[in-house]
Amino acid sequence: MSIHQAQRSIPLAVPNVGPKEVARVAEAVASGWVSSVGPEVEEFEAGVARVSGTKKGVAVASGTMGLHLALIAAGVKPGDIVISPSFSFAATANAICHAGAIPAFVDIEPDTWTMCPADTGRLIREDFEQRHDGLFHRTTGRRLAAIMPVYTNGTPALIDEIAALGRENAVPVVADAAAAIGALYKNAPIGSLVDLTVYSFNGNKTITTGAGGAVVGEDAALIQRVRHLATTARVGTGYDHDQVGYNYRMSNIEAALGCVQLERLPEFLAAKGRIRARYEAAFDGVPSLTPFPDPQYAQSTHWFSGIRVDPSLAGTTVPDMVKELNARGVGVRTFWKPMHLQPHFREMPRTSLSFTDSMWEQVLPLPCSTSLSAEDQDYVVDCVKDVLRRVN
Ligand SMILES: *Cc1c(COP(=O)(O)O)cnc(C)c1O
The rounded average pLDDT for each run of 10 residues, N- to C-terminus, in the chain (392 residues) is: 66 97 98 92 98 96 98 98 98 98 98 98 98 96 98 98 98 98 98 98 96 97 98 94 97 98 98 98 97 97 98 97 97 97 98 98 98 98 96 79
Residue 56, Cβ neighbours under 10 Å: how many?
Answer: 22
Mutate to test the pocket of ligand 1, among 153, 200, 215, 254 (most ligand atoms within 8 A of CB): 200
- With beta carbons less than 8 A apart as the criterion, state whether 206 and 154 touch: yes
- Tell me the chain's radius of gyration from C-alpha atoms: 21
* 81/9 Cα distance (integer angstroms): 44
Nearest to 231 by CA among 31, 35, 30, 64: 35
- In this predicted structure, what is the pLDDT of residue 7? 72
> Given phi > 0 = left and psi -120 to 50 = alpha, else beta, which region is 26?
alpha
Helices (H) and strands (E) in the chain, counts: 14, 17
pLDDT of residue 6: 56
Could you identify the atom of ligand 1 that is nearest to the CA of residue 201? 7
Residue with CA at minimum distance from ligand 1 atom 6: 63
Residue 273's CB: how many other CB atoms inside 10 A? 16
* 199 Cα to the center of ligand 1, angstroms: 8
282 CA to centre of ligand 1 in angstroms: 29
User: Which amino acid belongs to residue 93?
Assistant: A
- Rounded CA-CA distance 106/232 in Å is 34
Which residue's CA is the nearest one to ligand 1's atom 2?
178
What spacing in Å lies between the alpha carbon of 88 and ligand 1's midpoint? 9
**Ligand 1 closest atom vs CA 152:** 13
Element (H, E) at 363: strand 363-366
Spatial contact of 206 and 269, defined as CB atoms under 8 Å apart: yes
Ligand 1 neighbours by CB, cut-off 6 Å: 62-64, 88-89, 91-92, 150, 176, 178-179, 200, 202, 213
The sheet carrying 56-60 orders its strands as: 56-60, 213-217, 196-200, 174-176
* Atom of ligand 1 minimally distant from the CA of 213: 7
77 within 8 A of 212, measured Cβ to Cβ: no
Angle, CA of 184, 284 and 383, to the nearest 5°:
105
Identify which of 48, 68, 89 to mutate to test ligand 1's pocket (most ligand atoms within 8 A of the CB). 89
Closest residue CA from atom 5 of ligand 1: 63
Ligand 1 mean position, distance from CA 238 (Å): 34
Residue 268: its H or E element: helix 265-283
What distances in angstroms separate CA 177 from CA 25, 50, 157, 159, 213, one per listed residue? 26, 16, 9, 12, 10
Cα(139) to ligand 1 centroid in Å equals 30
What gap in Å lies between CA 114 and CA 211, rounded to an integer? 25
Q: Residue 146 in contact with residue 172, Cβ under 8 Å?
A: yes
pLDDT attached to residue 392: 74
Those residues whose C-beta lies under 8 Å from the C-beta of residue 313, and which sit 6 or more positions away, are 287, 288
* 91 Cα to the center of ligand 1, angstroms: 6
Which residues are bridge partners to 307 per DSSP?
291, 364
If we measure between CA atoms, which residue out of 366, 374, 237 comes closest to residue 303? 366
Torsion angle of the four alpha carbons 93, 150, 190, 268, in this order, in degrees rounded to the nearest 10 = 100
